[in-house]
Structure 1
Amino acid sequence: MTTSDILTSSNLLSDSALAPETATLNRRKILITGCSSGIGYYTAKQLRKDGHVVVAACRKSEDVERLMNEGLHSVRLDLDDSGSIVEGIQDTLVITGGELDVLINNGAYGQPGAIEDLSRAALEQQFSTNVFGTHELTTRLIKTLLASEYPRIIQISSVLGLVALRYRGAYVASKFALEGLTDTLRLELADTRIKVSLIEPGPIVSQFRKNAQTAFLTHIDAERSRHIDRYKRAIKRFDSEEKQPFTLPEDAVYQKINQAIQAKKPKPRYYVTKPTYLLGFYNTHSKLTGL
């Protein structure tokens, strides 16, 4: 999507968001990535209902068009493509009048498979989306965020950014990396107004399982792996509609995101779902006690 496409779109021209206005805790200018479905899509709609100016970024042009037809501001932004990131930022700032108060880095996917079955290409692709693209988008927007009165960077991480899980090594590694980058960024921005928070969900109702299946079939040669029996069971779970234990709806994540936006002193971390609370406590306790 080009800048001219945005300016000529009737549903954008009619929105008062194009006129610069002072940010408040109640009305913010927000960019959120990964909005084609799941947490990003739900959160974008809810934040818009709350009265915020929301720009929902998607990787595919058809998803951008669908969201715009639903009345949302939307831009194309592919985290694997630096050119797309630059253009997505430009299009976003046209919509927001050159301002941004909140960046929500939600775009990500999970690459399943045993470590020994992961090719270099599969691991690079996982990090390209979940770490490198997110990092580039964030660093390109820091100067813009510094001009906001209440700036926020909100990273959607995972319980698997706290603990490891078999056959999720690529995703675990990417989320551990995101956690480390985010904690360091928070320290480096401590002398500014920018507040940096991590949201760490456990199992959430979304398209995550479907997207993980696609990544698995693309990069893992299950038939030639010694893990074939476990892979077959995993494929059955991919095809199943059965929820994992303790699964919560997308709204549970949105509520924590909203807290991070509205709080004058947001927390460094927000846990979502019982597994995250339990494993987060265990992780902290084990570091303190060495057990």
Structure 2
Amino acid sequence: MNLRNSTILITGCSSGIGYETALYLQNKGYQVFATVRKEKDVKRLQSLGLTTFLLDVTKKETIENTLNQILLQTNGTLDVVFNNAGFGQPGAVEDLSTQALKEQFETNVFGLHEVTLQVLKIMKKQGFGTIIQHGSVLGIISLKLRGAYNASKYAIEGLTDTLRLELRDTNINVTVLNTGPITSNFRKNAIAKTIKNIDIKNSRFSKNYAKNINADKSTVPFNLEAIEVSKIVEKIITSKTVKPRYYITKATYILGYLKRVLSTKKLDFILNKI
């Protein structure tokens, strides 16, 4: 499956990593199916020459409809899926409503899972495939004021590790990307979620929220451009042996290493400084 005409479905392509990866892979000669959850974004991406479909990972029928349309164009096969769609809901655990936590999981975990289930039917029938799950460094370690997002990415780790074990007797690869800080609209969207779902004024973390909202994003250490993730996705597509996970950004490598070598108490001390 290292041919340049490989077919790949990417979710969450309206901006950032999904958008850049769709353009990058298409320019490299892959048959890319970019998906977004808003009709206006479908038309915008189509105007750029991308084959684009409406797919909201929280709505099962849009997943099924889009996959059916894709299979008509590929003679019933699909080589790769990149489960990229997701968002971050900031907030201290004590400030998170159960509803806000549910919404975080609906997209980041349950939506990802539904796409995976639907794609597995195709890949098991054809006898091969690659599933790329977009995790995070926050699926390896936790940071304060990010409880919902941390939990969703830890859940992806658990699902991916289990699925990888269960697919050992097949030719289907499953891997996870542990990205650190990447240039995208993620932070802007997270701020909007903070303002919408967190009672900042009455929280004992109100100063922390204000600091995060007003922070200069250019000061984020080890930040990489989204294209660096795109290159890793292509590396996975062309690899004869797909690794269980791929660390992206120096922050992921550093924090992943500290997770392995430090006691929980010592790691907590460091993470509390971030």
TM (norm. structure 1) is 0.87
Matches within 5 A, 1:170-249: 170-237=148-215, 240-249=216-225
- 1:253 and 2:233 aligned: no
Indicate the structure whose relative CO is greater, using CA pairs within 8 Å and at least 6 residues apart.
Answer: 2
Contact 1:24/1:150, CA 8 A, preserved across alignment? no
1:27 alignment partner in structure 2: 5
- 1:273 and 2:249 aligned: yes
- 1:36 and 2:22 aligned: no
- 1:157 and 2:131 aligned: no
Structure 2 unaligned residues grouped into runs of 5+: 268-274
1:117 alignment partner in structure 2: 95
Deviation at 1:143, TM superposition (A): 2.0
- Structure-1 separation of matches of 2:148 and 2:82: 22
Contact 1:25/1:150, CA 8 A, preserved across alignment? no
- Structure-1 separation of matches of 2:227 and 2:26: 14
What RMSD over aligned residues (CA atoms) do the two structures have, in Å?
1.8
41-50 or 143-152: which moved more?
143-152
SS in 1 for 2:201: helix
1:102 alignment partner in structure 2: 80
Deviation at 1:148, TM superposition (A): 4.3
Match of 1:51 among 23, 29, 36: 29
- Structure-1 separation of matches of 2:2 and 2:259: 36
CA deviation string 1:235-270 (max 9, x = no partner): 112xx4524111011121112111111101111111
- How many percent identity over aligned positions? 47
CA deviation string 1:198-252 (max 9, x = no partner): 1111001111001111211121110111111111111112xx4524111011121
- Structure-2 separation of matches of 1:129 and 1:221: 22
Match of 1:80 among 55, 58, 77: 58
Match of 1:137 among 98, 115, 123: 115
Q: Cα gap change, 1:278/1:24 in structure 2, threshold over 3 Å: closer, same or farther?
A: closer
Which amino acid in 1 is paired with 2:27? K
Which amino acid in 1 is paired with 2:120? I
Which amino acid in 1 is paired with 2:178? E
CA deviation string 1:68-92 (max 9, x = no partner): 1111001111111122222222222
Aligned residues: 266
SS in 1 for 2:176: strand
- Structure-1 separation of matches of 2:93 and 2:103: 14
- 1:285 and 2:242 aligned: no
- Structure-2 separation of matches of 1:258 and 1:185: 22
Contact 1:101/1:149, CA 8 A, preserved across alignment? no
Contact 2:2/2:239, CA 8 A, preserved across alignment? no
SS in 2 for 1:203: coil
- Structure-1 separation of matches of 2:39 and 2:219: 30
Contact 1:164/1:172, CA 8 A, preserved across alignment? yes
1:146 alignment partner in structure 2: 124
Deviation at 1:165, TM superposition (A): 0.1
Structure 1 unaligned residues grouped into runs of 5+: 1-22
Q: Cα gap change, 1:241/1:284 in structure 2, threshold over 3 Å: closer, same or farther?
A: closer
Deviation at 1:95, TM superposition (A): 3.2
91-100 or 254-263: which moved more?
91-100
TM (norm. structure 2) is 0.92
Contact 1:205/1:250, CA 8 A, preserved across alignment? yes
